[in-house]
Structure 1
Amino acid sequence: MRGTIAVLGLGEAGSALARDLTAAGAVVRGYDPAAPAPAGIVATGSEAEAARGADVVLSVNSASAAHDALSAGLSGIGPDTLWADLNTASPGAKRRLASTAASHGTAFADIAIMAPVPGRGLRVPMLATGPAAAAVAETLNALGAAVEVMPGEAGLAAERKLLRSVFFKGMSAAVVEALHAARAAGCEDWLRQLITDELTAANESTVERLVTGSHTHAVRRTAEMAAAAEMLTELGVPSNVASAARDQLAKLAKQPK
């Protein structure tokens, strides 16, 4: 079993993963220019130093730093070291990382973290794709992780995560905006209960009803959301989601039936 793991990025997620890996018996080498290594983690002075001697490198910093971390870390790794990028980035960005790794003879895995890490740590659900996906999953799962492997190139795991994000984060934005407006209108408790009831009652038919209804009633709903956006303006609440919904429905209304 691969027993030495490098963790690049020791923020909230990286530190939690590093601590759990250490507790599971792995030797963990960590590096973060802005954060000290937690107790039990071998502190290093650079990406290359952290990666030196590691069986698997986990890049858990940020999408904006992922390519620099890879470029800096590649000089320290051996021919059998696996590189796993756990950052939230676009599929295209993951493919570019995989290409850079491949040009140096390094096997790459795109790993998408599918739920919040706090409270779960290494047990957080993860999805892996790319050339090194199976090998990285085997290593991490043996240490207590929950990595599912999906066949295909790097970028597919990121694609699944971000498609999920469009739904969850989009819904979250709508709920936040609606409650903000309801608070301004003096009926937040009523709307909060309505939202709770709707989400609790959702079932398999809910998605089809939402999609079909948006297309079938696009003209009427465009006017409805225009009125809703106007109402939010009257309440002094920014209508970011309501206006976006209005514009999307207007486009649907123009599509041929």
Structure 2
Amino acid sequence: MIIPPKLTFLGFGEAGTALASGLIDAGIDDIVAYDILQNNFDNVIELEAKARDVKVHLASNYKNAVIGREIIISTVTCTEAVTVARAVSPHLRAGQIYLDVNSVSPETKAEIGSLVMRSGAFFIEASIMSPIYPKRQAAPMILSGPNAPDIIKRMAPYGMILEDMGPEFGKASATKMFRSIIFKGLEALLQECVVAADHYGVAEKVLDSITHSYPEIGWDKLASYFMERTVTHGTRRAQEMEEVAKTLRALKIEPFMAEGAAKRIAWLADQKIKEALDGKTPKNYREILNALRLQ
């Protein structure tokens, strides 16, 4: 009989909630989470309700979140990944596994790994390689680090799709960073295209023209998908592109595209489109453009 691991999630936003709910459905019944937003009264009620729905216990602090846990999974924002690792590292113990799935540069992952491993805990870097929903814990991940085979063996029975990229740190995070140049770069390109075209009332015509040239891609649906992602998660996605730029600079490659994409994505995120839509998620790019026109 396989005894399920005791898990902790550091950060309980979109990724943490999705992974935790999927793992609970797959048979892991002992999951703890801690999110720094619990210290904010405006957020704690929402987090407590989410935890009840998912059947996750909320710890009161970092120490209580990790003590006695087998696997700790960091699903915070890229700007907080190092801070959280530094805060939790004094409470880690030898033999624990710390899995960092945040979208950060290889250099940032190395800093996190150094903080974790000085405690005697094992560090594994991971990159999620698809949208977290609807697959949840089955969203494919790639892993780097000498202990990657251990967590693959431990978590495979619970539906996690984990690929070992080898013992060398940096490969998993680099793959995610360079992939983001394409995906988030396209997100920024489509946004800039349709926002500008809408000033002349030709956004639909432009996308229709592109579709005639590349009919295998549904450009209007793609524009709607990416712009909704920007509206909903744009601040985080822009920060992730800044991590891409950091990766490129470390290679002495000027991050022209990465920096531009980060600025473009951040711009739309700052427009507070959801507030203009009374908190509703926009159904398509046209709703976003209409909201921008009213500003």
TM-score w.r.t. the length of structure 2 is 0.64
1:11 aligns with 2:24: no
**Structure 2 residue corresponding to 1:44, chosen from 44, 59, 76:** 59
State whether residues 131 and 139 of structure 2, in contact with CA within 8 Å, keep that contact through their aligned partners in structure 1. Answer: yes
Letter in 2 for 1:5: L
Letter in 2 for 1:28: I
Quote the residue 1:126 is aligned against: 141
State whether residues 9 and 32 of structure 2, in contact with CA within 8 Å, keep that contact through their aligned partners in structure 1. Answer: yes
Query: Deviation digits for residues 190-212 of structure 1, max 9, x if unmatched?
Result: 2112333444448xxxxxxxxxx
Quote the residue 2:166 is aligned against: 151
Aligned-pair CA distance for 1:111: 0.6
Quote the residue 1:29 is aligned against: 32
Aligned residue-pair number: 206
Task: Supply the distance in 2 between the matched residues of 1:145 and 1:59 (Cα, whole angstroms).
Answer: 16
Task: Supply the distance in 2 between the matched residues of 1:201 and 1:118 (Cα, whole angstroms).
Answer: 24
State whether residues 48 and 74 of structure 1, in contact with CA within 8 Å, keep that contact through their aligned partners in structure 2. Answer: no
Give the direction of change, closer, same or farther, for the CA distance of 1:199–1:143 in structure 2 (3 Å limit): farther
Identity %: 27
Task: Supply the distance in 2 between the matched residues of 1:32 and 1:102 (Cα, whole angstroms).
Answer: 22
**Structure 2 residue corresponding to 1:66, chosen from 55, 66, 81:** 81
State whether residues 60 and 86 of structure 1, in contact with CA within 8 Å, keep that contact through their aligned partners in structure 2. Answer: yes
TM-score w.r.t. the length of structure 1 is 0.73
1:162 aligns with 2:151: no
Query: Deviation digits for residues 25-71 of structure 1, max 9, x if unmatched?
Result: 22111111213361211221112211111111000011222222222
Letter in 1 for 2:20: A
Letter in 1 for 2:19: L
Q: Which SS does the other structure have where 1:38 is aligned?
A: helix
Which range moves more in the overlay, 100-109 or 84-93?
Answer: 100-109
Cα RMSD, aligned residues only: 2.3
Task: Supply the distance in 2 between the matched residues of 1:114 and 1:123 (Cα, whole angstroms).
Answer: 11
Query: Deviation digits for residues 3-46 of structure 1, max 9, x if unmatched?
Result: 11111111111111111112222211111121336121122111
Give the direction of change, closer, same or farther, for the CA distance of 1:24–1:195 in structure 2 (3 Å limit): same
Larger radius of gyration: 1
Letter in 1 for 2:166: P
Letter in 1 for 2:180: S
Aligned-pair CA distance for 1:85: 0.5
Task: Supply the distance in 2 between the matched residues of 1:201 and 1:15 (Cα, whole angstroms).
Answer: 34
Give the direction of change, closer, same or farther, for the CA distance of 1:119–1:104 in structure 2 (3 Å limit): same
Aligned-pair CA distance for 1:182: 2.1
Give the direction of change, closer, same or farther, for the CA distance of 1:22–1:161 in structure 2 (3 Å limit): same
Quote the residue 1:186 is aligned against: 201
Give the direction of change, closer, same or farther, for the CA distance of 1:149–1:200 in structure 2 (3 Å limit): farther
State whether residues 89 and 115 of structure 2, in contact with CA within 8 Å, keep that contact through their aligned partners in structure 1. Answer: no
Gaps of 5+ in 2: 38-46, 218-255, 262-295
Task: Supply the distance in 2 between the matched residues of 1:201 and 1:20 (Cα, whole angstroms).
Answer: 33
Task: Please show how residues 80-91 of structure 1 align to structure 2 within 5 Å.
Answer: 80-91=95-106
